[in-house]
Homo-oligomer: A and B are copies of this chain.
């Protein structure tokens, strides 16, 4: 589990990290510092103290910041620096964080532990957690629409549109509904592999794909370049989810930093449960290969994104 530990604690005690993990750590540091300054600025403008504190708990609790990494390195393909991509990267992280805060609620996944710390509802209470999520979603759209946002007004409106669609009823939230429907209502007693792939594509894939496309928008990509990044993002999202499922099936709570084995305990249908671990890993490998293929048009510049895809195959090793 050494690599997993490094991923969950990239600035921790593990010194012998790969160049990729250094890049991941650097972009995480950058986005965390930016988010801290945004929250401090918002607080200075009058956020009620209880909400301000709970927002910091939700946003500044570490994490890999994988989606911001994708924004940075997609934008970098077109020469855009991290500074330019920062509002878009931070906005994606706000959406991701809000989804975790709401997912953890007793009425949803009922999780008390997240990244080794109490979840927001556990540290505060349910109503605070609901409102923290609501405020984070608004903050995401504030960050990319304002004059400090990434790109010109046209790019900013496009970023908002992309993020809103990816996170809404036909994206992340839709996937979460399908997931909870299956778990709580037994609405799909015999889900097919296609059902599960669709659920995961919505719940996890849409936001990961959006990260790559938002980088493309920030960088001013052509239509073809953006389409290539979208294809990459879709395969990466599939790989991400299946590697997550493998971690859940095989990992221990201490290594992963959150409760594990929950899918099985909740009777949730996963690709692993349906395919078996060996076939699931073959599907993972195919997704990684297809994702890397899509990056071919960018040549060597795409190395960080190629590495991100390869990492998915090593997360459970």
Contacts and interface: CB of A to CB of B under 8 A. Distances in A.
Interface of A: 42, 45-48, 50-52, 55, 98, 102, 105, 107-108, 125-128, 130-131, 133-135, 137-139, 141-142, 145-146, 149, 152-154, 156-158, 160-161, 163-165, 167-171, 173-174, 176-178, 180-181, 184, 187
Contacts of A52: 169
Contacts of A157: 145-146, 149, 153, 156-157, 160
Contacts of A46: 170, 174
A51 B131 CA distance: 20
A126 B185 CA distance: 13
Contacts of A51: 169, 173-174, 177
A204 to B, nearest CB: 16
Contacts of A154: 153
A102 B168 contact: no
Given A130-B102, A164-B142, A170 B108 contact: no
22 contacts: A47-B170, A105-B130, A107-B125, A107-B130, A128-B177, A130-B130, A135-B173, A135-B174, A138-B164, A138-B168, A138-B169, A139-B164, A139-B169, A141-B141, A141-B164, A142-B165, A142-B168, A145-B158, A149-B157, A153-B153, A153-B157, A160-B160
A17 to B, nearest CB: 35
A46 B195 CA distance: 13
Given A127-B108, A157-B153, A138 B139 contact: no
Nearest to A162: B145
Contacts of A47: 169-170, 174
A135 B105 contact: no
Contacts of A133: 134
A154 B133 CA distance: 27
Contacts of A125: 107, 184
B169 A135 contact: yes
Contacts of A168: 135, 138-139, 142
A35 to B, nearest CB: 13
Given A145-B164, A153-B157, A156-B157, A138 B50 contact: no
A149 B45 CA distance: 29
Contact of A137 (B134, B177, B181): B134
A169 B52 CA distance: 8
A101 B34 CA distance: 32
A47 B171 CA distance: 8
B138 A173 contact: yes
Contacts of A177: 48, 50-51, 128, 131
